[in-house]
Chains A and B, each alone.
Chain A
Amino acid sequence: MSARTRWPAARRSLSKRGPAKRDLSRRDLFKMGGAAAAGLALAGCGIPGLAKIITPEEALAEARAFWPKQKPTGRLSFANWADYIDPSHESLKLFTKSTGITVSYAEVIEDDNSWFAKIDPLIRAGQYIGYDLMVVTDGFEFNDLVELQELIPLDHSYLPTFSKYVIPKFTKETFDPGNLYSVPWASGITGIGWNTKYVKDDITSIDVLWDPKYAGKIGMMADPQEIANFGLFKLGIDPDGSAKDDWNKAAQVLTQQRNAGIVRQYYDQSYVNALSQGDIWITMAWSGDIFQQNQSAGNNDLQFVVPQQGGTIWTDNMMIPKHAQNPVSAMKMMDWFYHPQIATMLTENIQYISACAPVKSMIGQDAKLKHGANGQDQSTLQALVSSPLVFPPDSVLDRCKNYITPADPQTAQDFKNLFNAITEA
C-alpha cells in the first residue's frame, strides 16, 4: 500500500472526533448510573479508627487465648530492613538446620513510615501481610501498630534463650516494657558521619551541620523524628519531656538551615552512598552504616561521632503482625537470635548494638583467633570490641536520647506535619 492512500485515512480518523465524543458520553452515562450510586454509598463511610486502646493486661489475656491454639508450621516469612543481613546469611541457614523451618527472608523495609503505610490497610482488612516476622524501629509507627492492635502479643514461653541472655535494660524500654510485643533485633545511634577525604577538621559538635563553610555539602535525614531530635540538640533542648513550643523552635532552626542553602538534600538510607561518593561531606548518619561502608570499601574514609550536644538511640525490634500465618516459627526465630553464637555472628556483620549479653566477650574470643565467624580479620574484630558505638560506655549513652513520642494521635499528626514541611519543600 502506498503512502498516499494512508495519508487521507489518517485524516479521516482524526476528523471523527465529533461523533466519537457523543458515543463516549452515552457510554459514560450508562456506566455511571449504577456504579456511581454504589461508589457514593461507599464513599459515605470513612476509614474507621480505633474503638479503644488496649491495656497490657488485656493484651496478656489475648495472648493466653491465642497461643495455645497455634501449631508449628515449618515455614517462616521474615521482613527486615535492607543493609542488615543477606537472605543467605549463615545465621538463617543454621536456623533451618536446627529447627527444620524454611525461612524466606526479604529485605523489604526501607523506612518505618512507608512500611507502616503499606501494611496498615492490609491488617485493618484482616489480611495476612505475607510476613510472619518484621522489624520496626521504636517510634511513631511502633506506637501506631500497638495502639491499633495490629501486633500479636508475644508468648514468653517460646523465649527461654532470650530471657537467659538479654541485657536487662532491653526488657524495660519505655516503648515496650516487659517485651509484650517485641524483642530487640539491634540498636543503633544517630549521630554525625563525615568523609575524611574532604573534611580535615575533627568533628565533635552538632554546630558543624549549620556551618556555612560546608554549605551544600551537608546531608540531613528526611524522617520527621530523626530531624526533630537534631533540631532540639542544636538548641540544647532534651527531647525527653520537650513540648510543642520546643518543637516549633527546633523547626525554626532547621528551616533556617535549609533556607541558608546549607542542606544539600534530605535523605533516606541513600545518604551512605552520597557520603562515600563525596556528594555530601558531613551528614546525619546511623552508627553501623558508617562501619559497614568502611568495611565494604576496604578503607577508613568515613568517621562517625555522637555530637557532644546529643545523639539519638533507637532500637529495631522484631514483632509479629496480626493475621500472621506462622506465628510459632516467628517466636522461634526471635529466640534464635539470642543464642550467643548467633547473636555474635549478627553483631560482627552489622556492627550495631546487641541486646544479647555474652556478645562482647564472644567477639573478644573471636578476635584472639585468626578470624571471626564471618571471616573478618583480627583487627576488625578488635576494633569492634573496643568500639564505643557497638558497646557504648555510659559516657556515650548519657548523651543519647530516644525519639519523641507525642502523647495523642492529633499531636503526633501535628508533629509530623511540622517537620515534614521542612524536608518536603
Chain B
Amino acid sequence: MRGTRTKLTPYLLMLPGGLWLAVFFVVPIILMIGLSTMSGNIISGFGDPFHHFGNYIDGFTQYGHQWLNSAIYAGLGCLISIVLSYPIAYWIAFYGGARKSTYLFLILLPFFVSFVLRTVAWNYILSDQGIVLGRLKHWHLLSQNFHIIGTAPAVIGGIVYNYLPFMILPIYVALERVDPRVIEAGRDLYANAATVFTKVVLPLSLPGVFAGVLLNFVPAASDYVNAQVLGGTGNNMIGNVIYNQYFIVQNYPLQASLSFSLMGILLIGIFIYARALGTEDVLEAAAA
C-alpha cells in the first residue's frame, strides 16, 4: 500500500502541470495540425481535416523567397549581433567593476519602450530626408537617391537592434563565470594575450554564444515587425506571409501550415545545432 503510494506521488505531483501543458499546448497544436490540412473559405467554412497536406507544399513553393529572406536576415542578424555583443559583454564582465549591474540595466533600458515603437522610431531617424540622411544629403555627402529604409540592410539592422540584449546577456553570463585564475594560469604557461583569448576565454564563453544565437535566431526568423516597418518591396519575411494569410486573406489552413512548417524547421534546426555544436562537445573540444 505504502509502496504504490510512493510510486504514484511523482505522477500526482506532475498532474497539475501536465494538465496545464496538455490543455494549453498539446491540444491547440493538434487543433492547428487539423486546421493546417483543411480546405475551404471563410464564408462556407473550413473542413475536411487531414486530407489537404498539399497546403504544406504550397507554403514552400509559393513563398520560397520569403522563407529565404527569413533565413538570411535572421542568420546575418545573429552574426552581426555576435560581433557587436562580444566586446560589450567582455568589457562588462572583466572591466565593469562595481558598476556591472548598472551597465546591464542600461542595456535593458530600451525594453521599457514597446518593441513596435522602437522600430518605428528607427523609421523616423533613418527616413530619406530625416535628421541623419537629410543632413548628409544637404552637405552632398550622399546622392539624393540614397536610402536605408525600405531595404534589406534596414530590416537586418532592425533585427540586430531589437534582439541585441538577448545576445549580450548570455555571453556576459558565460564570461562572468570564467575564473580569472584560469587566465592567469594560461599566462603563466607563456601564452600571449591572443592565445589566452582563443584557447581559454573564447571556448569557455561559447555556451553563452550558443544560448545567444538561440535567443536571437528563433524570434528573428519568425519576426514580421521589422520587415513591415523598415523593409520595402521584396523584403517580406515568412512572418509577414503568416500575418497576411491570417489577417488579410483569411486563408486559415495555409496560415496554420506555414506556422507549423516554421515551427518544425526551427525545432529541427535547433536540434541539429545543439547536436553539432552542443555546449558539452564544445567544452570537451576545448579541453582536448
A-side interface residues toward B, CB under 8 Å?
2-4, 6-7, 10-11, 14-15, 17, 27, 30-32, 34-36, 38-40, 42-50, 113-114, 116-117, 120, 144, 147-148, 216, 222-224, 258, 261, 263-266, 270, 273-274, 277-279, 409-410, 412-413, 416-417, 420-421, 423-425
Contact = CB atoms under 8 A, between A and B. Distances in A.
Interface stretch (B21-29, B71-79, B107-115, B193-201): B21-29
Given A31-B19, A47-B45, A261-B233, 8 more contacts: A3-B179, A3-B181, A32-B22, A49-B46, A147-B43, A148-B43, A279-B147, A416-B248
Nearest to B255: A117
B249 A417 contact: yes
A423 B128 CA distance: 22
A11 B22 contact: no
13 contacts: A3-B177, A4-B179, A7-B177, A30-B11, A31-B18, A35-B30, A39-B31, A45-B49, A49-B41, A264-B233, A265-B233, A273-B123, A279-B129
A195 to B, nearest CB: 10
A14 B207 contact: yes
Interface stretch (B157-165, B213-221, B239-247): B239-247
Contacts of A425: 65-66, 233-234, 236
Interface in B27-60: 27, 29-31, 33-35, 38, 40-50
A362 B128 CA distance: 42
A257 B37 CA distance: 34
B145 interface: yes
B47 A413 contact: no
Given A36-B30, A40-B30, A49 B180 contact: no
B251 interface: yes
B68 interface: no
B174 to A, nearest CB: 9
B280 A15 contact: yes
A278 B283 CA distance: 53
B252 interface: yes
Given A117-B246, A144-B43, A216-B147, A35 B177 contact: no
Shortest 3 CB-CB contacts between residues of A and residues of B: A49-B45, A43-B34, A39-B30
Interface of B: 11, 14, 18-19, 21-23, 26-27, 29-31, 33-35, 38, 40-50, 62-63, 65-66, 123-124, 127-130, 134, 145, 147, 149-150, 177-181, 207, 229, 231-234, 236, 240-241, 244, 246-252, 278-280, 283
Contacts of B14: 27, 30
A32 B231 CA distance: 41
Nearest to A409: B43
A85 to B, nearest CB: 23
Nearest to A5: B179
B127 A279 contact: yes
Contacts of B179: 2-4, 7
Nearest to B21: A31
A224 B22 CA distance: 39
Contact of B241 (A10, A40, A424): A424
Contacts of A42: 27, 30-31, 34
B248 A278 contact: no
Contacts of A120: 42
Nearest to B274: A17
Contacts of B250: 113, 116-117, 413, 416
Given A46-B49, A424-B244, A264 B232 contact: yes
Contacts of B11: 30
Given A277-B129, A424-B240, A425-B236, A50 B44 contact: yes
B232 A17 contact: no
Nearest to B244: A424
A148 B44 CA distance: 9
B30 A410 contact: no
Contacts of B42: 49, 120, 144, 148, 409, 413
Given A11-B283, A264-B233, A265-B150, A34 B22 contact: yes
A226 to B, nearest CB: 12
Contact of B41 (A278, A410, A420): A410
B78 to A, nearest CB: 22
Nearest to B130: A277
B288 to A, nearest CB: 15
Nearest to B207: A14
A136 B256 CA distance: 26
A224 B248 contact: yes
B27 A39 contact: yes
A278 B43 contact: no
A93 B26 CA distance: 48
Nearest to A116: B250
B47 A50 contact: no
A44 B38 CA distance: 10
B26 A35 contact: yes
B26 A409 contact: no
A419 to B, nearest CB: 9
A224 B31 CA distance: 29
Nearest to A265: B232
B49 A417 contact: no
Nearest to A4: B179
Contacts of A11: 283
B127 A277 contact: yes
Nearest to A31: B18
A419 B131 CA distance: 35
A35 B129 contact: no
A413 B249 contact: yes
Contacts of B128: 277-279
Contacts of A7: 177, 179
Contacts of B130: 277
A263 B207 CA distance: 44
Contacts of B21: 31
A47 B283 contact: no
A69 to B, nearest CB: 29
Contacts of B241: 424
Contacts of A223: 248
A30 B12 CA distance: 11
Contacts of B236: 424-425
Contacts of A32: 22, 26
A266 B34 CA distance: 32
B127 A46 contact: no
A265 B279 CA distance: 42
B233 A17 contact: no
